[in-house]
Structure 1
């Protein structure tokens, strides 16, 4: 009785207990599934490596590299894929993808029935997830056991990843024939454009290829056998695409216009026709990207302009063809846009595929002697340090700078030349003299500040650095010339668009950069280019020839561009044909003229005269302020408070006694005197005039009564011993060691007198060298006095050696 009374409660308790166990079970299942889904797992994109697509400045494909497993594969996020392409793939491969758990039983059953019962063509009935499992894990699904593994792994993928993750992975791993995988790589390989830019016929074509990629590739055989492109698809591929379009039209609708588009020929590019543009630049960008990976992952956007690259390559090939018979086998060129410092064209060798010339070597990164291409920076530094201005008259005369005795390329000396003429005519002696006057910074310091790499010590180069004694790369030299174009501000070159445009660091003043550019503008075009149409814009340029005729250079600026070209042989062999103005300059102007002719919109940057640069009148003979007797005058740029300035003393008016032809003493008798202007050139310049056969009237000796006239003119200037040099005295050959004493004197001087520590050594005629034999080591002061009482002195150190 009592048990019957409580039986309902007992059944209720049992029911609650069972429900509780069921709830716990459900919760355990849910927790397990959640743990599987949200447990940390690698992204599907990490399963395989990716290719890198390198694009030009306008988005053009320059190179598609192979992945580490030798595939053309690019990962493209699902959000960046065009929606019609995604819909077409789902319509073709798995219309029920969004609803099944990774396996579609109906499709499996149908595939098994057709394959094993009817004996028809093999059908797998695979879902999109099952295909992804086969691709990722390399399954053999032609056997029942392989199919079971595929089913299990597909369910496992569905449990661990979201539908969009699986769809994204399939679209990136789907086979597209040969070693092409994924829609991103396939769109670049077959249609030469990103997937986002595909047309609907192209999208549907890609959608049907993975169904049978091997057979589809056989239909592309005609493309590979000859032509780079085809006007029509293969018959089978077109039929498959049209069947998909018919289904697409039922689902998404269509129009007569769309139908007409699908009837048009479709151009397909063969995989062998992938672009291979600017290989040296692309490989440099790939190396730099691997060291400094940036955003974008499998895509690199470069500053390169394929059109300008092709222009430069044609010019290099055409020009080099003229020199091959003369033993010149290689050339390189670099074009930089100074507006953003982007490299627009880079040709590292004449032929990348030619192993005989080391074609795969990037010549723009090779360290080579720059010849005279560094001379503009000597003059710019000299103007910044108050050594000269563009019309300062420099001496192109035989000179020694300690143990260094430079010579000019032609073995001749021109005598007095302006700084502009010395730069334009590439005279070595004036450049070395200017370099010897620099203090802070020296040329060596300047190059170090400019980032020139792998330089030895300053003592190693000495003054020979300005003549090409050091080594630079083409890219470093382009940066230096861009510094001039950018008014003294050094900014790094940019090869990748992701690199920021740096504000730069100032190494030269705006004034010195402006005046140096103006000096380079006056360099006339070489003879080989005079017949060409004159350039629309001024060209600022300089040549260089390395010692031993190993390298021929030309570097310069036109419009917004800096252009550096080099000709030579990668093995460093010398060749008399490798002269900058004769070999490299024609190539330089061929490129510049082609670019200026093709782009009429190019204009000269807004060159305004810096506020601190003034125009002053100078005497052309001396480069100094004209005195009243200077017959020829001109103007030059001048930096007030910095540029050297004094009144010219070359032209001097002398009163001549007509009866003796000598200088007269006052008071002057008009009946027997006349006034004449003479040129008073220093002795070293007068000697050059005489050697060159250029007549110069000898000025008269001053009258004995004219004390003021005797003291006029320039004092002597010691040129040997060299300032700061040490001379060696060999203890075993004391009698053989002599030191040359030489001084440049004013035109009216006839004799000079040499002293050592106030002890008289001897005399010499003006312009002649006096030799002294030292007796013991030590420090001394050498002094010279001319016959008018003017003097100069210099410290001298003698060291004993074995």
Structure 2
């Protein structure tokens, strides 16, 4: 008995000494432990999220996926699963569990190695925040002290909340909210009991015991968690059995991106990294709201992709991407499906393998699933591609196009599946709000996966006739009017320096003699643009064009400027056109509306300079964009571009004419929405290497561009396809702004204008109108088809009435006139 009593006293004494030593060490190290402020305000690394203006998630950037949650937002069964498995005495101990420590000590004595360690949730939190995962005594001691310190500074609920948001679950998921999304694509409140048990079992070995990397080990671990819940009477036996029988159906889920806009998302990512640095950009949980609406962005993406496919189809089929086998030795279906999993989906196209070819159809196995029948409507477009200018004969049967074993691509259209190929040209659409410069939509190419080059903001291409509204604006500023007659006749100018004559020509090569400026702009007359430049002087025009935001040093100092030899990005062109749309103000494009923290605190709100006459809206004074041309000048140029859409003259009297944008008239959806309140201008460069269309309604300016990234490669021409109806092939002949870029613009605007203003172009103060004779440009007393009312700046209307039509007042800059 004396021995037993002595032993007990000794153990008690050792315990007291141990407590005193530990307490002393804690007090000694306390100053070096994390501060209470650091513990309470510890930053949870959370990725940046990018949203459309109406709240749809566009993209998520950051290595760590995390969805911070309050403890009350986490389902109690999930909390129970963690407590039962990781630390059933969590609410009872002081940060270190003596029973767990005793178990760890027993394992050390019996095995000679540190094994489980008996760490509490508080200790695991300490390790995750401040320490490594090495199994050493020094780390365990530091872990214990930090755990004690945490318990002295935070409540149990605060500790548990931090733990559930911090712990790692594999596949870059940190916190239970992210784990629910990554493995099950669910909100945490929608998880089943079996799914909660699976997540609660992951902290033990998140990289090797998760249900994606090792489903069998994950199932075994889930069973352990469910067993602990049952043992702790947190679930019933029927619940246990049902959860145990539930299959493991976890798979890797991407963030809940509801709208794909990769080019816009990359613009945001680059800007946020520039502002905040990579670490803060990817880890602060910033929420970035763009100026682009989901509806308009989707419309832009669809317009670019569908119109590039239309271009590609009319130029012919380039053949299979690969020939895998022949009809005599076909691959089994399993081998085909395995192969297809290795081939990338690009844009709207899915890889497929031809398994059977009939007379006017083909059966393919596609990456998207089961066998698909391609009917003749989906095949008949595929005449052979010869070169940019030529296509082969229209196919008569499916075997003219495909053979068994071909690896091809298909895409889904409104009319069903269709043979496809990845389009070769590049394209871009950029849309701006003209009153403040907010980017409403931005698409920089067919597929961001295929090319990250953002042609909407990076591609500097020759603008062709898209330059002409700016040339005409300068002319109106320098004494010309919409009624001024300019000689539309060939120019033949000898250059003694080069020994070559410069002969700028119209496209098409048609000349009409004296022509009013309104009609010349609407018909995009090249020689008229040259004559205007000559009349004003190159220096005058270059200086004037800088008003629209164009770089002075990038503008050519020769007459080719009048034909669009200057290179600009689609964004720069759209910004210039916005000056006409908003009454003469130069706005600055922007695409970030606001930035908030993870807790929705606004840390940045855009304050753009706006186009306005009275810059005070409500109680908040706004910044005013600089006015670079007069409202009257902007109105007159807009009138000229309006005629590019609607034409003029009298068709009944055989004097009617169309402008280059007449195809807009055929868009009943667009016309029914905006009426005649729409303007625009085509643009095509030499050899059709760049095609443009820029235009606007009062609330939206849009520029579209199509061309090859190889600046030496022309877009070519097409002939009619005998297999297709006239409705199916609206475009033939040479490609150009009106045929290549305009259809894409129309496609986008048909949807985009549903949500923007399309008000009439009201006559501004100071503008006068007068009836003029169309042939002479003089005032007229007639009121028939030979005349029209025209708008003028004060003092610029003609003062003379026409008496006869033998001597029109024609501006002609040289001796090459045919008159």
Shift in Å, 1:386: 5.1
What residue number does 2:119 align with?
A: 126
Is 1:514 aligned to 2:635, yes or no? yes
Is 1:72 aligned to 2:64, yes or no? yes
Is 1:476 aligned to 2:577, yes or no? no
What is the rounded CA distance, in whole Å, between the counterparts of 2:758 and 2:428 in structure 1? 25
What residue number does 2:72 align with?
A: 83
Tell me, yes or no, if the aligned pair for 2:169 and 2:203 is still in contact at 8 Å: no
- SS of 1:522's partner is helix
* CA deviation profile, 1:622-676 (whole Å, cap 9, x unmatched): 33323689993220122324x3433145x43xxxxxxxxxxxxxxxxxxxxxxxx
Question: Residue 501 and residue 633 in structure 1: after superposition, are their counterparts in 2 closer, same or farther (change >3 A)?
Answer: same
Given the alignment, which residue of 604, 612, 620 partners 2:758?
604
Write out aligned runs for 1:726-737 (5 A).
none
Question: Residue 37 and residue 580 in structure 1: after superposition, are their counterparts in 2 closer, same or farther (change >3 A)?
Answer: closer
What residue number does 1:389 align with?
A: 481
Tell me, yes or no, if the aligned pair for 2:428 and 2:456 is still in contact at 8 Å: yes
* CA deviation profile, 1:723-763 (whole Å, cap 9, x unmatched): xxxxxxxxxxxxxxxxxxx497xxxxxxxxxxxxxxxxxxx
- SS of 1:497's partner is strand
What is the rounded CA distance, in whole Å, between the counterparts of 1:53 and 1:84 in structure 2? 21
Is 1:583 aligned to 2:734, yes or no? no
Shift in Å, 1:472: 0.7
Shift in Å, 1:496: 1.6
What residue number does 1:178 align with?
A: 171
What residue number does 2:799 align with?
A: 646
* CA deviation profile, 1:240-287 (whole Å, cap 9, x unmatched): 998999999989xxxxxxxxxxx9999977235764822222112111
Question: Residue 623 and residue 58 in structure 1: after superposition, are their counterparts in 2 closer, same or farther (change >3 A)?
Answer: same
Is 1:270 aligned to 2:397, yes or no? no
Aligned residue pairs, count: 604
Judge which range, 440-449 or 427-436, deviates more.
Answer: 440-449
Question: Residue 340 and residue 110 in structure 1: after superposition, are their counterparts in 2 closer, same or farther (change >3 A)?
Answer: farther
- SS of 2:557's partner is helix
Tell me, yes or no, if the aligned pair for 2:488 and 2:525 is still in contact at 8 Å: yes
What is the rounded CA distance, in whole Å, between the counterparts of 1:413 and 1:344 in structure 2? 39
Indicate the structure (1 or 2) with the bigger Cα radius of gyration.
Answer: 1
What residue number does 2:608 align with?
A: 501
Tell me, yes or no, if the aligned pair for 1:511 and 1:639 is still in contact at 8 Å: yes
Tell me, yes or no, if the aligned pair for 2:771 and 2:781 is still in contact at 8 Å: no
What is the rounded CA distance, in whole Å, between the counterparts of 1:607 and 1:472 in structure 2? 27
What residue number does 2:307 align with?
A: 319
- SS of 1:345's partner is strand
Structure 2, unmatched stretches of 5+, are 1-22, 236-244, 313-384, 389-423, 496-501, 595-605, 611-624, 646-659, 717-734
What is the rounded CA distance, in whole Å, between the counterparts of 2:682 and 2:801 in structure 1? 33
* CA deviation profile, 1:515-562 (whole Å, cap 9, x unmatched): 322322222376777765352224322111123321111111146332
Question: Residue 184 and residue 300 in structure 1: after superposition, are their counterparts in 2 closer, same or farther (change >3 A)?
Answer: farther
Tell me, yes or no, if the aligned pair for 1:400 and 1:719 is still in contact at 8 Å: no
Question: Residue 532 and residue 619 in structure 1: after superposition, are their counterparts in 2 closer, same or farther (change >3 A)?
Answer: closer
What is the rounded CA distance, in whole Å, between the counterparts of 2:663 and 2:772 in structure 1? 34
Question: Residue 719 and residue 489 in structure 1: after superposition, are their counterparts in 2 closer, same or farther (change >3 A)?
Answer: closer
Is 1:456 aligned to 2:553, yes or no? yes
Question: Residue 611 and residue 242 in structure 1: after superposition, are their counterparts in 2 closer, same or farther (change >3 A)?
Answer: farther
Question: Residue 567 and residue 124 in structure 1: after superposition, are their counterparts in 2 closer, same or farther (change >3 A)?
Answer: same
Shift in Å, 1:364: 3.3
Judge which range, 286-295 or 420-429, deviates more.
Answer: 286-295
- SS of 2:560's partner is helix
What is the rounded CA distance, in whole Å, between the counterparts of 1:645 and 1:353 in structure 2? 58
What residue number does 1:135 align with?
A: 128
Tell me, yes or no, if the aligned pair for 2:293 and 2:441 is still in contact at 8 Å: yes
What residue number does 1:63 align with?
A: 59
Is 1:380 aligned to 2:449, yes or no? no
Per the normalisation by structure 1, the TM-score is 0.63
* CA deviation profile, 1:550-600 (whole Å, cap 9, x unmatched): 11111111463322211111111232534211211122222223x16xx75
What residue number does 2:522 align with?
A: 424
Question: Residue 362 and residue 556 in structure 1: after superposition, are their counterparts in 2 closer, same or farther (change >3 A)?
Answer: same
Is 1:104 aligned to 2:231, yes or no? no
Tell me, yes or no, if the aligned pair for 1:73 and 1:172 is still in contact at 8 Å: no
What residue number does 1:331 align with?
A: 427
What is the rounded CA distance, in whole Å, between the counterparts of 2:689 and 2:210 in structure 1? 52
Question: Residue 425 and residue 345 in structure 1: after superposition, are their counterparts in 2 closer, same or farther (change >3 A)?
Answer: same
Question: Residue 551 and residue 83 in structure 1: after superposition, are their counterparts in 2 closer, same or farther (change >3 A)?
Answer: same
Question: Residue 219 and residue 206 in structure 1: after superposition, are their counterparts in 2 closer, same or farther (change >3 A)?
Answer: closer
Tell me, yes or no, if the aligned pair for 1:446 and 1:507 is still in contact at 8 Å: no
Is 1:286 aligned to 2:234, yes or no? no
What is the rounded CA distance, in whole Å, between the counterparts of 1:167 and 1:135 in structure 2? 13
What is the rounded CA distance, in whole Å, between the counterparts of 2:475 and 2:184 in structure 1? 57
Shift in Å, 1:88: 7.1
Per the normalisation by structure 2, the TM-score is 0.62
Given the alignment, which residue of 665, 668, 676 partners 1:533?
668
What is the rounded CA distance, in whole Å, between the counterparts of 2:37 and 2:307 in structure 1? 61
What residue number does 2:543 align with?
A: 445
What residue number does 2:349 align with?
A: none
Shift in Å, 1:469: 1.7
Question: Residue 30 and residue 534 in structure 1: after superposition, are their counterparts in 2 closer, same or farther (change >3 A)?
Answer: closer
What is the rounded CA distance, in whole Å, between the counterparts of 2:631 and 2:169 in structure 1? 58
- SS of 1:271's partner is coil
What is the rounded CA distance, in whole Å, between the counterparts of 1:266 and 1:437 in structure 2? 78
- SS of 1:456's partner is helix
- SS of 1:180's partner is coil
Shift in Å, 1:337: 3.6
Write out aligned runs for 1:337-376 (5 A).
337-338=433-434, 340-354=436-450, 358=451, 360-376=453-469
* CA deviation profile, 1:43-86 (whole Å, cap 9, x unmatched): 9757x9653222222332222223xxxx324585xxx7463229
Question: Residue 72 and residue 366 in structure 1: after superposition, are their counterparts in 2 closer, same or farther (change >3 A)?
Answer: same
What is the rounded CA distance, in whole Å, between the counterparts of 2:128 and 2:521 in structure 1? 67
Structure 1, unmatched stretches of 5+, are 1-25, 224-233, 252-262, 653-677, 686-716, 721-741, 745-765, 768-802
* CA deviation profile, 1:407-450 (whole Å, cap 9, x unmatched): 32233321122222111111112223333445899442344343
What is the rounded CA distance, in whole Å, between the counterparts of 2:249 and 2:589 in structure 1? 38
Write out aligned runs for 1:380-779 (5 A).
380-383=473-476, 385=477, 387-399=479-491, 406-438=504-536, 442-453=540-551, 455-456=552-553, 460-498=556-594, 499-503=606-610, 504-524=625-645, 532-535=667-670, 536=672, 537=674, 538=676, 539-558=678-697, 560-575=699-714, 577=716, 578-593=735-750, 595=751, 600=754, 602-605=756-759, 607-626=761-780, 632-641=786-795, 643-648=796-801, 651-652=803-804, 678-681=805-808, 719-720=813-814, 742=815
Question: Residue 157 and residue 523 in structure 1: after superposition, are their counterparts in 2 closer, same or farther (change >3 A)?
Answer: same
Tell me, yes or no, if the aligned pair for 2:122 and 2:147 is still in contact at 8 Å: yes
What is the rounded CA distance, in whole Å, between the counterparts of 2:482 and 2:508 in structure 1? 23
Larger RCO: Structure 1 or Structure 2 (Cα < 8 Å, ≥ 6 residues apart)?
Answer: 2
